[in-house]
Amino acid sequence: MMAFLFPGQGSQSVGMGYELFEQYPEARARFEAANDLLDVDLLTLMFGLDSSIDSEEQLKQTAITQPALYTHSLAAMAVLENNGLTPDMAAGHSLGEYSALAAVGALSFEEGLRVVRRRGELMAEAGERRPGAMAAVMGADDEDVEAACTAVSDEGEGVVQTANYNAPGQVVISGDQEAVEKATARIKGRAIPLPVSGAFHSPLMEYAREGLGEVLEAVTIDEPDCPVYLNVTAEPTTDPDEIRQRLMEQLLSPVRWAQSLRRMRDDGATRFVEVGAGDVLRGLVGRTLDDVETAGAGTPEEIEDLSAGL
């Protein structure tokens, strides 16, 4: 069985998707539709077409990063579908959960894009209203990281909690700057501060959650073509009502990525395909599971290799 994985923030790079745009009409149609729907020239920023603009810096901005990654993944998905390649199950990392839902028919491309753009704007605004920090903790057990966060929060040092269970020995924590620093000081592991614009997947995103809730209530969510493994629960679902509820919870809750990968493997996935930019998720699969295959589907060469191998 084949699982499709969709990347989140951190996988972006200038030039991503350009070869798909050049070579496949179905991908070009997705990119051009995104450009028409948004109030920014997304393609110029993604492809680095204007030397007077610092596209790399622009792509780091949450409100730009999220629609750019979503569009790239859905453009790649259009090519995969045209080649008869569809998943048996799907999951996306944070922002990538929206890409996954659109890829398997739960969201239309257009509505998903609008939600993703607004989500990015709200998260950036939440970070300005209540600044915070995130740090990746390497080499520590999940339980030790959780215990450190709980202790700091209980002592009134501010809010800090686990934000991403990425792989064994790689957990991201999020919250108030001082609380994050105090928590990492308690953990036996290496902590790497992350260059982010807010404390994502923590209570500091409450402002964004409220605004996103209003947006999601107005969005049509259909039953997906295959099970989607949700960040909040690491469990599969095809229930539109549950999807809507969990998307609202996702902004304040940890992304249970390693748990999702294990559950997908237990449910029969033997090949994990990263659809979109970069290879971050393939790396996390490799660190979490030792008995599966991985592949990419973000460039023409990767899609051709995937098609030839099936």
SS3 278: coil
**Lookup: tokens for 303:** 């899609």
Residue with tokens 């209980």: 154
* 290: CB partners within 8 A, 6+ apart: none
State the virtual CA torsion across 50, 297, 78, 41 in degrees, nearest 10: -20
Among residues 201, 202, 253, 260, the one annotated as catalytic is 201
Number of H helices, E strands in the chain: 14, 10
**Beta-ladder partners of 191:** 137
Neighbour-count burial for 219-256, b at 16+ CB within 10 Å, e otherwise: eebeebebbbbbbbbbebbeebebbeebbbebbbbbbb
201 counts as catalytic: yes
CA 193 from centroid of its chain's CA atoms? 19
72 is catalytic: no
Answer for the pair 93, 122: CB distance below 8 angstroms, yes or no.
Answer: no
Of 94, 153, 174, 197, which is the active-site residue?
Answer: 94
**Cα within 13 Å of Cα(2), Cβ side:** 17
Residue 119 C-alpha from the chain's centroid? 12
Catalytic site residues? 94, 201
